[in-house]
C-alpha cells in the first residue's frame, strides 16, 4: 500500500516442524524438536532515500515448555541510501561466506546451536550492528562495527556433563564497547566468478570454555569470549554444468 509517500510491503508465513532422533544411550527415539511458528515481515520505503525492515516471529516450542521462544523481534533496522554509500543501523543478521554448514569466514552474528533444524537460517541470531557499503562498478566494500558482544548459544546443559562438573552462566554485565568488534569485506564480481576477501577483529561470537577447580574437587565450566583476528577469502564459480564454492581463513588468537 502507498500512504503519504510511503510504500508498505508485508509478508509472512505459518509453519510447523517436528524432528525425531535417537535417545542418547538407548535404542529408543524421541522428539528433538516440535514447534509451531508464525512470521510477519514489514518493510516501509520512503522513495529512494531509505527504508525500514522488521521481522516479528511467534514460536511455540512443544518440547521445551520453558523455552523463551514466544514473541521475538528477530530483525529491525533502518537503511539509508546516500549515492554510492549505503548505511544500515539496527538489529541484524549477517551471513558471510559461500560454504554451507561450516563457514570459517562467517564470524559476525551469533548462532543458536540448540536449535534442531535442517535449515541453517533457523539457528541464526541477530545483534546490533552499524553496517555500511561502498558500491562501485568493479568492487563493493562492506564495513561493520559491532558495538556490543552477543554470544552464540552452545549445545550444553547440565545433563550432558559428567558427574562433578557444573555449568555456570556467562557474565553478560561485561559485554560493553571494549568487547566490540570490527570487520571489513571487499567483494569482486565478474562474469563467471564471485569472490571476496575479509578481515575480522574482536571477540568471536562462539565463546570458549573455561574450567575452574572448586574446593570440593568439582569443576565449574563457564563460557568465556576470546579475542581473535581472522583473515578470510571465499569464491563461487562454475565449471561446465557444475558449481564450485570454497572458503579459506587464517585465525590468530589475541588473548
Q: What is the DSSP track for 99-119? A: -SS--TT--SS-BBTT---S-
pTM: 0.84
Q: Please, what are the averages of pLDDT over each run of 10 residues along the chain (255 residues)?
A: 75 88 77 84 89 92 65 93 95 89 88 83 92 92 95 80 78 69 93 91 91 83 90 91 91 87
Evaluate whether 126 touches 89 at the Cβ level (below 8 Å): no
Look at the alpha carbons of 209, 213, 217, 222 in this order and tell me if their dihedral is positive or negative: negative
Per-residue b or e along 56-84, where b marks 16 or more CB atoms closer than 10 Å to that residue's CB: bbebebeeeeeeebeebebbbbebeeeee
All cell numbers assigned to 54: 522488521
**How many residues are listed for the chain in this entry?**
255
Task: State residue 13's pLDDT score.
Answer: 93
Task: State residue 26's pLDDT score.
Answer: 79
Task: State residue 215's pLDDT score.
Answer: 84
Amino acid at each position: 500500500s502507498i500512504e503519504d509517500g510511503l510504500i508498505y510491503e508485508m509478508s509472512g508465513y505459518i509453519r510447523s516442524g517436528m524432528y525425531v532422533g535417537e535417545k542418547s544411550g538407548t535404542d529408543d527415539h524421541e522428539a528433538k524438536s516440535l514447534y509451531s511458528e508464525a512470521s510477519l515481515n514489514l518493510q516501509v520505503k520512503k522513495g529512494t532515500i531509505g527504508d525500514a525492515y522488521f521481522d516479528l516471529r511467534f514460536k511455540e516450542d512443544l518440547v521445551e515448555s520453558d523455552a523463551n521462544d514466544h514473541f521475538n523481534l528477530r530483525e529491525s533496522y533502518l537503511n539509508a541510501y546516500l549515492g554510492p554509500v549505503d548505511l544500515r543501523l539496527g538489529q541484524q543478521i549477517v551471513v558471510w561466506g559461500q560454504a554451507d554448514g561450516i563457514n570459517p569466514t562467517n564470524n559476525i552474528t551469533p548462532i543458536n546451536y540448540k536449535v534442531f533444524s535442517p535449515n541453517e537460517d533457523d539457528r541464526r541470531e541477530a545483534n546490533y550492528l552499524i553496517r555500511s557499503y561502498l558500491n562501485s562498478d568493479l568492487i563493493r566494500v562492506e564495513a561493520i562495527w559491532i558495538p556490543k558482544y552477543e554470544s552464540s548459544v552452545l549445545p550444553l546443559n547440565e545433563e550432558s556433563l559428567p558427574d562433578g562438573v557444573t555449568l555456570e552462566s556467562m557474565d553478560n554485565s561485561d559485554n560493553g564497547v571494549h568487547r566490540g568488534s570490527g570487520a571489513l569485506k571487499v567483494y569482486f564480481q565478474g562474469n563467471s566468478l564471485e569472490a571476496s576477501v575479509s578481515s575480522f577483529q574482536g571477540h568471536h561470537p562462539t565463546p570458549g570454555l573455561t574450567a575452574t577447580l572448586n574446593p570440593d574437587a568439582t569443576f565449574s565450566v563457564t563460557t568465556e569470549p576470546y579475542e581473535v583476528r581472522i583473515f578470510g577469502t571465499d569464491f563461487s564459480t562454475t565449471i561446465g554444468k557444475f558449481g564450485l564454492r570454497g572458503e579459506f581463513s587464517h585465525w590468530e588468537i589475541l588473548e
